[in-house]
Chains A and B, each alone.
Chain A
Amino acid sequence: EAGVAQSPRYKIIEKRQSVAFWCNPISGHATLYWYQQILGQGPKLLIQFQNNGVVDDSQLPKDRFSAERLKGVDSTLKIQPAKLEDSAVYLCASSSSGFKNFGPGTRLTVT
């Protein structure tokens, strides 16, 4: 079975620019998560989808971050405008019966 796919793997942007990340979960997985992992810290949940509905977005900075999961499959996470403190690895994970499968992540550097 193919794993969780993410793109791009690396992105460098200047502050105040916009950026989008894409995630393709494992086929059939209803639950999709986006995590932010800042250097030296553990991953922090940003948003959780169940099919195409949001289950938990309590830690998503909604003034600049947005996410969608159209048709309950792929998902995109957008940051607009980016700040220096957004530099991190953004991890996508999917699950069907609770066991989370993580993608390789997108490393974002904001300069």
Chain B
Amino acid sequence: AQSVTQLGSHVSVSEGALVLLRCNYSSSVPPYLFWYVQYPNQGLQLLLKYTTGATLVKGINGFEAEFKKSETSFHLTKPSAHMSDAAEYFCAVSLDNNNDMRFGAGTRLTVKP
């Protein structure tokens, strides 16, 4: 069965600094990988997803993630943090687009002025 581990339940960065949120996955077959963002009292919003093809995936709000099969990782990055990026971020894995999606425990991003 597939699973996801997010390293660091809480990450704090200064405004303008690099954002790096770590995600490692486990899957017996080539996975579909996702990053979602959740703002307070709101549902999950898809940031980006990897299915096949190019391993560097660009998403909304300036975020991107790179699928590294050798490291079983799918870390999320953004070159320059903005105050509006403060939220909870979830990494998820599934076997295909419609299969049961397994989520990580989430990483809360705080952005300091």
A interface list, Cβ under 8 A from B = 4, 9, 31, 40-45, 48, 56, 91, 93, 95, 97-100, 102-105, 107
Contacts and interface: CB of A to CB of B under 8 A. Distances in A.
B52 to A, nearest CB: 13
A44 B46 contact: no
A99 B51 CA distance: 12
A100 B42 contact: no
B105 A100 contact: no
B46 A104 contact: no
Contacts, number: 51
Interface of B: 4, 9, 36, 41-46, 90, 92, 96-98, 100-106
A45 B100 contact: yes
Contact of B105 (A41, A45, A91): A41
28 contacts: A9-B41, A40-B9, A40-B105, A40-B106, A41-B105, A41-B106, A42-B90, A42-B92, A42-B104, A42-B105, A43-B44, A45-B100, A56-B100, A91-B43, A91-B44, A93-B43, A93-B44, A95-B97, A95-B98, A97-B97, A98-B96, A99-B46, A100-B101, A102-B36, A102-B45, A104-B42, A105-B41, A107-B41
Contacts of B4: 42
Contacts of B36: 102
Given A43-B90, A104-B41, A98 B98 contact: yes
B95 to A, nearest CB: 12
The secondary-structure label for the interface of chain B is: loop
B18 to A, nearest CB: 24
Contacts of A48: 100
Contacts of B97: 95, 97-99
A103 B43 contact: yes
Given A40-B105, A42-B106, A102 B100 contact: no
B73 to A, nearest CB: 17
